[in-house]
């Protein structure tokens, strides 16, 4: 069972593998309404982050802070600062073992940090539309069943990303396309959903076998 720093290091490693395998998919989404390099940039950034060694006495917050700084410096465009800030702020409230409440607080902090930097709101067809539904599920959950809550949060995040195809983009490069952005899944929303899914796998992994 992985707890604390080991669990978040495993999250970063898992996300690195995920983005490497999805780089072309994300680039294709981005090519329709952006520069076409979202997946490649994230894959490179997460690969860099995955090489950060986990110190014997390092906390999860410290580790995710270093991940955030690595993404800021290695991921091009707006995605680097946004994802970097997300990891920094989420890491500051990460606790172990995880609870529904602690996960909600950590992800809410990450969400607020992205909104403060990017000034996007729900419905603008951005990564917010994949992250906010997951946070809402966790905050509204009326049980301490972490496994069930995380499973629902992942589903909400994935659905939120898909829903951006019905929205007019109002932030980022995609906003320049106006009505023509409708019909295209936002690449940032898709990558955020993949990141949430990766985090969820690691959180569930800390819980051990279901009883």
Q: What is the pLDDT of residue 207?
A: 76
Mind giving me the DSSP string for the chain?
A: ---HHHHHHHHHHHHHHHHHHHHHHHHHHHHHHS-S-HHHHHHHHHHHHHTS---TT--HHHHHHHHHHHHHHHS-TTHHHHHHHHHHHHHHT--SS--HHHHHHHHHHHHHHHHHHH---TTSSSTHHHHHHHHHHHHH--S--HHHHHHHHHHHHHHHHHHGGGS---SSGGGGGGGGGTTS--HHHHHHHHHHHHHHHHHHHTT-S--
Parse the chain into domains and list their residue ranges. 4-205
pLDDT averaged over every residue in the chain: 91
Architecture of domain 4-205 in CATH?
Answer: Alpha Horseshoe (1.25)
Statement: the pTM of the whole predicted model exceeds 0.85:
yes
Q: What is the pLDDT of residue 1?
A: 40
pLDDT (tens digit, 9 = 90+) per residue, 21-66? 999 999 999 999 988 999 999 999 999 999 999 887 688 889 999 9
Average pLDDT over every residue of 64-87: 88
């Amino acid at each position: 069972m992985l707890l604390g720093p080991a669990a978040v290091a495993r999250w970063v490693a898992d996300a690195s593998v995920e983005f490497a395998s999805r780089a072309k998919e994300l680039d294709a989404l981005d090519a329709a309404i952006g520069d076409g390099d979202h997946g490649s940039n994230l894959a490179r950034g997460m690969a860099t982050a995955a090489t950060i060694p986990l110190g014997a006495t390092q906390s999860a917050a410290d580790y995710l802070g270093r991940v955030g700084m690595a993404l800021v410096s290695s991921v091009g465009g707006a995605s680097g600062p946004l994802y970097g800030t997300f990891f920094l702020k989420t890491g500051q409230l990460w606790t172990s073992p995880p609870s529904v409440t602690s996960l909600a607080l950590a992800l809410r902090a990450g969400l607020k940090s992205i909104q403060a930097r990017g000034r996007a709101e729900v419905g603008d067809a951005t990564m917010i539309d994949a992250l906010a539904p997951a946070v809402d599920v966790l905050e509204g959950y009326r049980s301490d069943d972490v496994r069930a809550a995380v499973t629902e949060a992942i589903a909400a995040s994935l659905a939120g990303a898909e829903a951006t195809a019905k929205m007019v983009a109002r932030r980022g490069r995609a906003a320049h396309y106006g009505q023509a952005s409708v019909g295209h899944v936002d690449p940032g929303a898709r990558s955020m959903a993949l990141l949430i899914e990766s985090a969820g796998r690691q959180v569930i992994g800390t819980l051990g076998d279901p009883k």
